[in-house]
Amino acid sequence: MAAGEAERILVSVRLRPVNAREAERGDGSDWECAGPTTLMFRGNIPERAMFPATYAYDRVFNPECSTQQVYEQGAKRVAMSVLNGINSSIFAYGQTSSGKTYTMVGVTEHSMSDIYDYIDKHPEREFALKFSAMEIYNEAVRDLLNPEATQLRLLDDPEKGTVVEKLTEETLTDKGHLLELLAVCEAQRQIGETALNETSSRSHQILRLTIESSAKQFMGRGNSSTLMACVNFVDLAGSERASQTQAAGTRLKEGSHINRSLLTLGKVIRQLSKGGNGHIPYRDSKLTRILQSSLGGNARTAIICTMSPAHCHLEQSRNTLLFANCAKNVATNAQVNVVMSDKVLVKHLQRELARLENELKLPGSASCRTHDEVLREKDELIKQLEEQLKDLMEQRDTVQSQLENFRRVASDGNINDRTTRQWDDYSRSSESHPRIVSEDVLSSSDTYDCAYEDQDDLGSKGLDASHICNGHNQDSEIPEGIAEPHQQTVGEHSVSSLHQRRNHNSDSKEIYQANIMPSSELSEEHCKEVPWIETNEFSRSHFPADRSHAGTNSDEDNHSESMLDTTDSAIKLYTCDSDASSDTEKTTNDESLALKRCVISSRDSVLNRSRSCRASFMVIPNSWFDDSVDMKMPTPGEIFKYAPRNPDKIRRSLYPDNGDCQNDLSLDCSVASGGVTSDTVVDKNTCNEEEEGAIDGISCIPKVKEKLEACRTSQLEGNQYTITEDFSDMKNAKDIGTDIAVTTVESPRWPIDFKKKQKEIIELWHDCNVSIVHRTYFFLLFKGDNKADNIYLEVEQRRLSFIKSSFSAGCESSATVTSSLRNLRHERDMLYRQMLRKLQLAERESLYTKWGIDVNSKQRRLQLSRRIWTQTDMEHVRESAALVAKLVEHLEKGQAIKEMFGLSFTLNPRAGRNSTWRR
Ligand SMILES: Nc1ncnc2c1ncn2[C@@H]1O[C@H](COP(=O)(O)OP(=O)(O)OP(=O)(O)O)[C@@H](O)[C@H]1O
């Protein structure tokens, strides 16, 4: 079998002759060789049936066979493998006195002889032989060539396996030298006398011959290779029974160690015979540990099992055969061990290096292709990353540029993010409103103190002023007025600046004084001082840049001019009323200035649908409390004619205890009239809230407009739109309990929502003591059949909710409630008087019956006036509204317009999106 191929342990069985002692006992031979490989049991025992009759091995040797034959047929091939560089081992295994030593001495000698014969026959090769010998006695390794070394250690070498440290290794000079050493070993081996063997070996002996050989012709040239292997001759101690050997003391101890190590050997062989899977207990004994490579490893192995054929050793013989059976199944993997010289090794490495270098140099080689591909991929990746980096840097520069712009504008005009957002929104949707912008600039700057009298205006100012920012960004020119420190950013006018402004009591006072200043208190000098043209010039001189925007849109101009005419008329009526009183002298320069500002404000406010106008609508005309004046609701153009008719009288009537409570009047008049100007209310109650955002429904108007626009757009696109969630940021609106969905008129649920909201508003009117006329106007005008009605209702509800919360918050609510109740009483008195004028006797009597009033009772007219708008059920509300409409001329004639209530937008389906909100 060639080296490197799987092969099995060569197992042979040798029967020794029955010795004299056995013969004396009359023990016959139970075993005989039935052939060269078959051993047969011939014994006649009761357990015979339990024994196999024949046993097959590689070779079986009968007692007549010489050791020469045993060697030749059972060990030579293995032993001679060492000359070819293959490790080999020859074992003698068997019970004590079975002839192991007898056999192994012969086998070793024959092997040595043959080896040297081989060497002698192969002069072309140079051989180097080394010899070492050891024994394992009581689990201690002894160097047989060095008797003083009795406890050699075993070391684990990665290449060589287990080695015996400091083991003497004698280089053999010749055959005689070897024989001398063998003699030394024999002399050093532990031998003891037992009952079975006079010269019983008490240790495991391992004789090792290491042979290196190389061809002489290559020696010294650096290119020769050396074969190196070793052959082990192992004479195991024999297994023994203490009862048979009669061992005691030292012998017993020796026998114990012998049996224990042989037991481990048996386990290893048995495990190896199973295929070598699982744990092989090599390390359980020094014997197996030293012989590990010879047992199933890189070695050829031959085991000669020796047996005594005597019947008395039947059991031990059977155990030996069982061991042999296992051993013959153990596979080994013997290989030729070639030792490469340094020069050969260097040469081999140089060749390998040259091959690799050629592969790298050749472009077509596999490794080069891989390298190029990797480089291309890396280059591509770097390119992509560079492009991404470039894009990111551009984006960063863009953002930084925008940020710088915003910062510059913000620092110049205190324009905050909200402004910017509003500017963005508005600039996208109002390109065609430069005129509005310019007018609002006037409102938001020059008329700083007067213009912010209505949240609606504030909202529009927020938008328009933002547009100013746009203009300034483009022109890089900011009006001085806008940049004043005390002036909050125009974008914040809807909220923040209002609060800031309210902190200036003097300004607030001027606002009030201007608004309530009776025409009678103005002297001709005042009239001269405040001509319209002068006001116009005043504004223009203050805001040239803004004025430059005027007149860029003809439609808006026409509309504005129309409004301007109306305003001019009103202003002239107001300022030039010759019904001057003695109070004129009380007019101070401040009041004059306030008037001047108010006039400007009025004009601008009209242009911007100023609260001044609406507030006047909300305030019950003086004439209503005057019996001498016919009841007549004002038209929008007549508002200044009526509103300031005798404001001082109003003030005194509403605030008899403190006629100077101007600030309060702004609130109370509004509340009493039902036209509470939200900015005034904010001033009184929600200053802190202003800083946080939208305050009430009115302050939300710009947003409502935007949402309505979005709603309309959405409807055009066939979508339902609800802005409830879009008001989520209007926290104060939510705080006052008006987080109500604004449903579109087209929505299927709109009728339900409308009724619900209408009912809530009616109850709020009742709770807030809102003006009866206001209720009537509102109830009759907003019937839910108009697209804008939902917005009006939303605003009204939020406004009322806010008022109600103000009442319940107790913030000056006592005076507010008192004054509002007083004004309600005045209204009822007015209606009481109007009944005589507007209703025939029959009509009045019919009403008495209808309202459950005895037609013959005293003060039945007064009773009726006191019952109007006192309940919140719809029937009562409808009857109350109908009655008040009869008593109030313009209501009955339908002359009132919805714009009275503060919202100045119209839905124009034909208009483009940008022009939907005309104001
Ligand atoms: N084949 C044989 N032919 C003749 N005599 C033999 C043979 N085998 C062994 N003997 C003799 O048997 C005796 C015991 O042999 P040996 O010492 O070799 O046994 P052993 O197995 O080594 O015993 P132990 O294990 O106790 O050392 C010796 O006297 C030996 O000469």
In this prediction the ipTM stands at 0.98
643 CA to centre of own chain? 63
Of 223-227, 246-250, 655-659, 850-854, which has the strongest mean pLDDT? 850-854
Q: Which residues are annotated as part of the binding site? A: 94-101
Of residues 198 and 823, which shows the higher confidence score?
823
In ligand 1, the atom with minimum distance to the C-alpha of 201 is 27
Percent of the chain's residues with pLDDT above 90: 15
Nearest Cα residue to atom 14 of ligand 1: 97
96 ligand 1 Cβ < 6 A: yes
Q: Tens digit of pLDDT for each residue in 719-733?
A: 433 333 333 333 343
The pLDDT confidence band at residue 210, using thresholds 50, 70 and 90, is very high
CA distance 97 to 17: 11
Nearest Cα residue to atom 2 of ligand 1: 16
Looking at the predicted structure, is the pLDDT value of residue 544 above 80?
no
125 ligand 1 Cβ < 6 A: no
Q: Cβ distance 917 to 787 under 8 Å?
A: no
Under DSSP, is residue 165 helix (H, G, I), strand (E, B) or coil?
coil
Residue 413, Cβ density class (10 Å: 0-12 exposed, 13-18 middle, ≥19 buried): buried
Residue range 166-192: average pLDDT? 87
The pLDDT confidence band at residue 116, using thresholds 50, 70 and 90, is very high
One-letter amino acid identity for 610?
S
CA distance 459 to 666: 20
What b/e sequence results for 799-818 when a residue is b if at least 16 CB atoms lie within 10 Å of its CB, and e otherwise?
Answer: bbbbbbbbbeeeebbebbee
Q: Range with the lowest mean pLDDT among 266-270, 703-707, 785-789?
A: 703-707
Q: Tens digit of pLDDT for each residue in 652-666?
A: 443 344 433 333 333
Nearest to 514 by CA among 687, 662, 668, 680: 662
Q: Name the DSSP letter for residue 234.
A: E
C-alpha to C-alpha distances, 869 to 336, 503, 763, 875, 877, nearest whole angstrom = 122, 38, 10, 11, 6
CA distance 420 to 434: 18
The pLDDT confidence band at residue 888, using thresholds 50, 70 and 90, is confident
Pairing between β-strand 200-201 and β-strand 88-94 as defined by DSSP bridges: unpaired
Report CA(98)–ligand 1 centroid distance (Å): 5
496 ligand 1 Cβ < 6 A: no
CA distance 702 to 698: 8
The pLDDT confidence band at residue 634, using thresholds 50, 70 and 90, is very low
Pocket mutation for ligand 1, best pick of 95, 101, 200, 261 (most atoms within 8 Å of C-beta): 101
Pocket mutation for ligand 1, best pick of 12, 69, 97, 233 (most atoms within 8 Å of C-beta): 97
309 ligand 1 Cβ < 6 A: no
Pocket mutation for ligand 1, best pick of 62, 91, 102 (most atoms within 8 Å of C-beta): 102
Of residues 125 and 543, which shows the higher confidence score?
125
238 ligand 1 Cβ < 6 A: yes
Q: Which residues are annotated as part of the binding site for ATP? A: 94-101
| 11 contacts: CB under 8 Å, gap ≥ 6 | 57, 58, 302, 303, 305, 324, 327, 328
Query: Two tokens at 8?
Result: 């099995």
Looking at the predicted structure, is the pLDDT value of residue 914 above 60?
no
Nearest to 441 by CA among 512, 544, 593: 544
Q: Cβ distance 450 to 594 under 8 Å?
A: yes
Of 67-76, 685-694, 797-806, 815-824, which has the strongest mean pLDDT? 67-76
The pLDDT confidence band at residue 132, using thresholds 50, 70 and 90, is very high
539 CA to centre of own chain? 57
Report CA(130)–ligand 1 centroid distance (Å): 28
Q: Tens digit of pLDDT for each residue in 487-524?
A: 333 333 333 333 333 343 333 333 333 333 333 333 34
Looking at the predicted structure, is the pLDDT value of residue 591 above 80?
no
Report CA(91)–ligand 1 centroid distance (Å): 15
Nearest to 864 by CA among 856, 852, 876, 875: 852
99 ligand 1 Cβ < 6 A: yes
Report CA(307)–ligand 1 centroid distance (Å): 10
98 ligand 1 Cβ < 6 A: yes
870 CA to centre of own chain? 60
H or E stretch at 311: none
The pLDDT confidence band at residue 131, using thresholds 50, 70 and 90, is very high
pLDDT at 296 (0 to 100): 76
Nearest Cα residue to atom 10 of ligand 1: 99
Q: Tens digit of pLDDT for each residue in 242-257?
A: 666 666 677 777 778 8
CATH T-level topology, domain 7-340: Kinesin (3.40.850)
pLDDT at 223 (0 to 100): 57
Give the total residue count for the chain: 919
203 ligand 1 Cβ < 6 A: no
Looking at the predicted structure, is the pLDDT value of residue 82 above 50?
yes
808 ligand 1 Cβ < 6 A: no
pLDDT at 112 (0 to 100): 92
In ligand 1, the atom with minimum distance to the C-alpha of 235 is 22
pLDDT at 68 (0 to 100): 94
Looking at the predicted structure, is the pLDDT value of residue 354 above 80?
yes
Looking at the predicted structure, is the pLDDT value of residue 458 above 50?
no
| CATH 3.40.850.10 domain extents, the chain | 7-340
